Chain A
Amino acid sequence: MRRVHILGAGPAGLYLAILLRKANPATEVIVTERNAPDATFGFGVVFSEETLGALRTADPQTYTEITDTFARWDRIDIRYRDRTMSCRGNAFSAIARIKLLRILQNRATELGAQLRFHTEIEDVSALREDADLVIAADGVNSILRRTITGFDAQTGTVGSTYVWFGSDWVPDAFTFIFKQTEHGLFQVHSYPYDEHSSTFIVETTPETWRKAGLDQVSEVDSMAFCQHLFAEELAGHTLRSNRSLWQHFPKIVNSTWSRENVVLIGDAAHTAHFSIGSGTKLAMEDAISLAAALENHSDLRTALVEYELDRKPIVERFQQAAGDSAAYFQRTEHLQDLEPPQFAFNLLTRSGRIGHGNLAQRDPGFVRSVDNWLHGKILSPPPLFTPLELGGLSIGNRVVAGSPETGAGLVIGETVAVTGNGRIHPGSPTLADAGQWPDLVESVHKAGALLGLRLGHAGRRGATHPPQRGRDIPLPADQAWPLISATDQPYGPRSQAPTMATEQELQQITAGFTEGARLAADAGVDLLELDMAHGYLLAAFLHTEFPFTVLEAVRAEWPVDRPLSVRLTVTDYRRGGLSEEDGIALAARLKAGGVDLITVTAGQSVHSDQPPYRRGYLTALSARVRSEANVATLVGGYLTTTDEVNTIIAAGRADLCFLEGA
């Protein structure tokens, strides 16, 4: 390439300039930056050890200069209530952003890149005509991305309100501080970046921020507020401001990273919430990948496609983790009931990228202390083997499965229909099978497990073929039975139209549930579950009092010393349907009605919805129900490893887990 224009002299733009000049000194590289060389927003930049190898290979000289300047630590401290919990083995380094920029500026200049500061770009098309390739390294608000058609960036914000300070307080670990105030919870993310300085980010929800009056005060006064609030931790040290204003973190997602001869790198292409500390890392890795692709392919289009194919999956994984982390910090207020060891474990596993097994490798002592706290003994097994006390019952381990051969602590089989017309398919079990229950209880107990029995009524999802063929495939009319529901509309295409249940029919159904509870109690069943999920009958009535009437009747029949559970659709995954908040309110009401456990599920209220399927996709929902409705939860959502179960249990995101293949 003859000439490359790079817009923006941040870490991404400068590092790419270095790598391009190294790869081919004949390429003219011009970096244009609107600000001064020493102007910088923010204080320190943090790197994980994983990044450093890539930097060493790409340019040993800057690698040495950068790492010579590094502040390093391997500990995360979590200050919560009046305790500090520490977890080792988390290798991080940080550097002052201004120092990083100086190293990169000097190296780029030494290699012959032209750096033009204080220069605004007036005419984007002239820039594009002037060069073979134009790099948009101009950050979140990238002018190139915004002015060139074809980049369909999705922009928005993610996470809570935060403000970015520096401080001369120098912790010797990455430090989180959680501070409860009369207005609500404030939290700090702080890390050292040289021997005199640290980054000190204060974060809180917009509600708490307003309650504290921070929407009304100046930059100086808000810094004074934070300084006062964290006076104890700062121990006489002070905060520093650098355009430190409260803001929301910008979220940028681009489906296309290049158009013709313009390509996006760093924040211009994608952002990841600061709480996983990956923005600069991703930006510099982009530069390495793009430089390599340009070196490997003489055809520009092929090179840009390869760069995008290389980076996008990695960036998407980080953005997913960053989104989960940002959402976590929005909800920490609801986690203040967790005891310190569990709170710390929950924080460290927030993004879903690090689990129990991984942390146990990093800091065995920390994880053992969490396991011991959970188990109440010094020598404790992994979290999934910690018994659960629930509604008078002690469940041997935290795994729930469909059959007793698996070693699960609790076995729950197919839903038992409380009336003949409440069957899902012709072979659905009914109360008529109750004669077999005592034997079933005995065989499950023999296998060392407890038996749970779920009672339900199919409602308008009844009279279908067995699930081997699919779900909601209606039986031929001559084999079907009449359906009832809260509506007269059919559930899906070609489904039988139900009739609206009459008062008398609802009474019969209530009687079926109480009869089922009585039979289950007599048979020695350990746990009873009511099905209020997935658009079956009780779920279809969740907007009415009927499910609560059923619950009251069942609770009166079911022994007080045995747990009662409800399988609940917590959200509908459709616009205008049941929101997560609605579902949490229902869970709280069910708990008040005597329910000991909520089996968290979602979707299928109607035939067509949009569930965000992925590994463990119900876990965050369970964590919300558990912490906000203050009730024990059972969750599935495609968990396939014992490590996932250990992580969920130790973090307090659920009390029991369905394990696939168990």
Chain B
Amino acid sequence: MRIGIGLPNTTPGPNPAVLLDWARKAEDGPFSTLGVLDRLVYDSVEPFTALAAAAGATTRIGLATMIAIGPLRGSAMLAKQATSVNGLSGGRLTLGLAVGARKDDYVQAGVEHRRRGAILDDQLAHLRAEHPELPVLVGGGSGQALSRMARYADGYAHGGGPPRAFASAAAKARAAWAEFDRPGEPLLWGQAYFGLGDPDTGSAYLRDYYAFTGPFADTIAAGNLTSARAVKDLVRGYAAEGCQELILLPTLSDPSEVDRLADALGSL
């Protein structure tokens, strides 16, 4: 299993200088990929912009959206952004797409929320027809999302949780893949949050970021990996369940978090 690290593009106080510093540290560290999140109505850096900046500051490390909310962008613009980042980075992009969880993002983007699934399907049909070189992952837990993944994508981007939740989702993804008679197996990517330097601030960020989910925000915050031991346990658990790439997403903007995570993984 490869291990990637998130760029802090949605954590409090992001600025380009921090992102670039972070990206360089990650490039020098034991990480396979830099991942970004996507939220419109939240203080954050737009994911393709963040990845474009990271592409310029690095040469080796993979780049991934985990995930981008496809329907917030027009199909042609989404493809343009993705292929631009892919081109700028010399083919390092993995495009994770899903419908997202927030209605207010759709309201702000002027996109009909109830059409989100149909729009994402259209975007995927376009991407796969026109840009087959671009690796695509699809996320989401519903039967519809899993069908979408099996039909259009190269693999599945899981939304986070303990290893057993990943295992259950992975079995569903493989079942959908088999039902669509796709050759081989789907790629399986996972993600989890970490915050090692200042766990309380990190968990408070998660409660704020996920406040729209109601009490579930507490559950997400409870899953924040706040010690080297918790990181190691989760990494082992995901590896055992067949995860191929695990992206550890930051809850703090401090670039020292990259070193802390590298240390935690180094003692694995």
Contacts and interface: CB of A to CB of B under 8 A. Distances in A.
Q: What range describes how many residues of B lie at the interface?
A: 35 or more
A313 B164 contact: yes
A465 B117 contact: no
A333 to B, nearest CB: 29
A615 B183 contact: no
Q: Interface of chain A, helix or strand or loop or mixed?
A: loop
A199 interface: no
Interface in A582-634: 601, 603-604, 607-615, 617
B114 to A, nearest CB: 13
A473 B147 contact: no
Interface in B223-251: 223
Contacts of A608: 117-118, 121, 144, 147
Interface stretch (A25-33, A69-77, A186-194, A299-307): A299-307
Interface string B178-197: 11111100000000000000
A469 B128 contact: yes
Interface stretch (B65-73, B97-105, B168-176, B260-268): B168-176
A474 B180 contact: no
B60 interface: no
Q: Interface of chain B, helix or strand or loop or mixed?
A: helix
B176 A611 contact: yes
B157 to A, nearest CB: 16
Contacts of A146: none
B110 interface: no
Contacts of B152: 470-471, 473
B165 to A, nearest CB: 8
Contacts of B222: 302, 305-306, 309
B150 to A, nearest CB: 8
B117 A471 contact: no
B175 A613 contact: yes
B195 to A, nearest CB: 15
Interface stretch (B10-18, B28-36, B76-84, B212-220): B212-220
A219 interface: no
B137 interface: no
A609 B132 contact: no
13 contacts: A150-B214, A258-B215, A301-B218, A305-B218, A471-B150, A492-B125, A493-B122, A494-B125, A573-B143, A614-B171, A637-B179, A638-B171, A660-B174
Smallest CB-CB A-B distances: 10 pairs: A638-B175, A493-B122, A610-B143, A613-B172, A613-B175, A494-B125, A611-B143, A473-B128, A305-B222, A471-B151
A302 B222 CA distance: 7
Nearest to B203: A302
A614 B219 contact: no
A476 to B, nearest CB: 8
Contacts of A573: 143
Contacts of A467: 180-183
B125 to A, nearest CB: 4
Interface in A227-276: 255-256, 258-259
B45 interface: no
Contacts of B128: 465, 469-470, 473
Interface in A457-499: 465, 467-474, 476, 492-495
Contacts of B93: none
A607 to B, nearest CB: 7
Interface in B130-174: 132, 142-144, 146-147, 150-153, 162, 164-165, 168, 171-174
Contacts of B171: 614-615, 638
A615 B144 contact: no
Given A608-B144, A615-B175, A636-B179, 16 more contacts: A150-B214, A256-B214, A305-B221, A309-B219, A465-B132, A470-B124, A470-B151, A472-B125, A473-B129, A492-B125, A493-B118, A494-B129, A603-B179, A608-B147, A611-B147, A638-B174
B126 interface: yes
Nearest to B184: A468
Contact of A613 (B124, B179, B216, B223): B179
A493 B125 contact: yes
A611 B147 CA distance: 8
A354 B146 CA distance: 27
Contacts, number: 115
A610 B144 CA distance: 5
Nearest to A607: B121
B139 to A, nearest CB: 15
Contacts of B142: 610
A308 interface: yes
Contacts of A613: 143, 146, 172-173, 175-176, 179
B126 A494 contact: yes
Contacts of A617: 175
Contact of A308 (B117, B214, B219): B219
A654 to B, nearest CB: 16
B172 A493 contact: no
A313 B128 CA distance: 36
B32 to A, nearest CB: 24
A614 B221 CA distance: 28
A302 B128 CA distance: 44
A350 B100 CA distance: 37
Nearest to A316: B168
A256 B215 contact: yes
B178 A612 contact: no
B164 to A, nearest CB: 6
A494 B126 CA distance: 7
A259 B214 CA distance: 10
A428 to B, nearest CB: 12
B125 A256 contact: no
A306 B150 CA distance: 34
Residue among A306, A601, A617 with the highest chain B CB neighbour number at 10 A: A617
A518 to B, nearest CB: 27
Nearest to A573: B143
A614 B176 CA distance: 8
B234 to A, nearest CB: 14
Contacts of A494: 122, 125-126, 129
Given A308-B219, A638-B174, A474 B118 contact: no
Given A467-B181, A469-B128, A609 B147 contact: yes
A614 B172 contact: yes
A603 B121 contact: no
A150 B216 CA distance: 12
Nearest to A255: B216
B129 A611 contact: no
B92 to A, nearest CB: 21
Nearest to A306: B222
B127 to A, nearest CB: 9
Contacts of B162: 309
A305 B219 contact: yes
B215 A259 contact: yes
B182 A256 contact: no
A607 B124 CA distance: 13
Contacts of B176: 611, 613
A495 B117 CA distance: 16
Given A308-B219, A614-B171, A615-B171, A609 B143 contact: yes
A614 B175 contact: yes
B134 to A, nearest CB: 11
A468 B215 CA distance: 41
